[in-house]
Amino acid sequence: MRAFSADSHPGHRRSHNEDCYQANPELGLWLVADGVGGHSNGEVASAIVRDTLDRDVAAGSSLIEAIHHSHKDILKEIASREGSNMGSTVVALQLRGDDYEIAWVGDSRAYLFDGSRIKQVTRDHNPVSEMLARGAITPEQASNHPERNVLSQSLGVADSISVAPDRIRGQLEAGQQILLCSDGLTDELGDEEIRQLMVEGDDPQAQVQSLIQAALDAGGRDNVTVVVVGKKAQAGAEAAASTSRREHDTLSTEKAVTSASGSGHDKMVLALLGAMVLLALLWMFW
């Protein structure tokens, strides 16, 4: 069974937790949903997302189809509650063997970690992220922008919202892990801090707990939810791979040196033979 761990914390400033997650290894489904709407039942919206995706994926729907269904299910719930504007983000991972698909709406994120390096593979659905992609602002400006938590799309909230989930696909290689999280983590910790904690954690459970604790230590201003899927690359395996790459590079260099030396030797022999022939001809003419 695929190694994984998941947990959620309400944070220091919230009286309740509007985040939720799903970890269903039998389905190959993991997700994080971050409810919005405060006391207008954001936690209800995120739970609807979780339950809808679990149900629909089990029935054979794609992640994209299931996300669209969850949007409609939240709108139905809104219609039954006067004055509600609840909504939710989602980032969902589906694994079929080593093939993965990640789909998302909003600013809950997915990262790919290979044991030493980390890469954000989703792009937040908000105006600040779009400005960053265009190069209009720097990453530092984006991380401190006053509108960094304003969403350009989310699930639910209003039927006037046009939901267009993004999706990426790839293959999870040995030693790679996928991290899913709500913005309660990424608002408190930068990518380098997240990378370092992923490096230090021995397994998914240790990584999840250290990430959540670090977010709480940094302020814990929001609900924090973290899911890590995949077995971490072992340090010995990384060292062996690094040694193998160095040996390959050394052998390539040695071959290049040998080839260059041989070429130089051939040229020297040809030059000596040419000189001998020239001397013989001059002797004959003399």
- Residue 88, domain member (yes or no): yes
Provide the pLDDT confidence category of residue 235 given band limits of 50, 70 and 90: low
Per-residue pLDDT for 184 more than 80? yes
Average pLDDT value for the chain: 84
| C-beta of residue 90 within 8 angstroms of C-beta of residue 49 | yes
Residue type at position 11: G
156 pairs with which residues across the strands?
87
Domain range enclosing 206: 4-233
Q: Write the CATH number for 183.
A: 3.60.40.10
CB 90 within 8 A of CB 108: yes
HEC sequence for 73-90: HHHHHHHCCCCCCCEECE
Position 285 in a domain: no
What pLDDT was estimated at residue 236?
54
Per DSSP, 25 falls in state T
- Report CA dihedral (144, 146, 151, 157) to the nearest 10 degrees: 140
124 within 8 A of 106, measured Cβ to Cβ: yes
Name the token pair of 255.
């071959």
73-87, 144-158, 190-204, 228-242, range with greatest mean pLDDT: 190-204
β pairing state of 90-96 and 99-105? antiparallel
Radius of gyration of the chain (CA): 28
**How far is C-alpha 226 from the geometric centre of its chain's CA atoms?**
12
In a domain, 161, yes or no: yes
CB 224 within 8 A of CB 216: yes
Instruction: Write the pLDDT tens digit of every residue in 100-152.
Output: 999 999 999 999 999 999 999 999 998 777 787 778 888 777 777 777 777 88
pLDDT of 239 reads: 41
Q: What pLDDT score does 82 carry?
A: 85
Identify whether 241 is part of a domain: no
281 inside domain = no
Which is more confident, 136 or 196?
196
- Residue 77 forms part of a structural domain: yes
- Could you report how far apart the first and last alpha carbons of the chain are, in Å? 91
User: Considering the chain, what percentage of its residues have pLDDT values greater than 90?
Assistant: 65
Specify the 3-state DSSP secondary structure of 249: helix
**Residue 130 belongs to a domain:** yes
How distant is the alpha carbon of residue 184 from its chain centre? 16
What is the number of structural domains in the chain?
1
Indicate whether 260 belongs to any domain.
Answer: no
Question: 100 pairs with which residues across the strands?
Answer: 95, 170
Q: How far apart are CA 70 and CA 85, in angstroms?
A: 15
Structure tokens at 274: 């040419």
Pairing of strands 4-9, 99-105: unpaired
Q: Are 102 and 92 in contact (CB under 8 A)?
A: yes
Contact 11, 52 (CB under 8 A): no
Task: Mention every residue, 6+ apart, whose C-beta is less than 8 A from residue 83.
Answer: 40
The count of residues in the chain is 286
Using the predicted structure, report yes or no on whether residue 98 has a pLDDT greater than 90.
yes
256 pLDDT more than 70: no
Strand partners, 33: 20
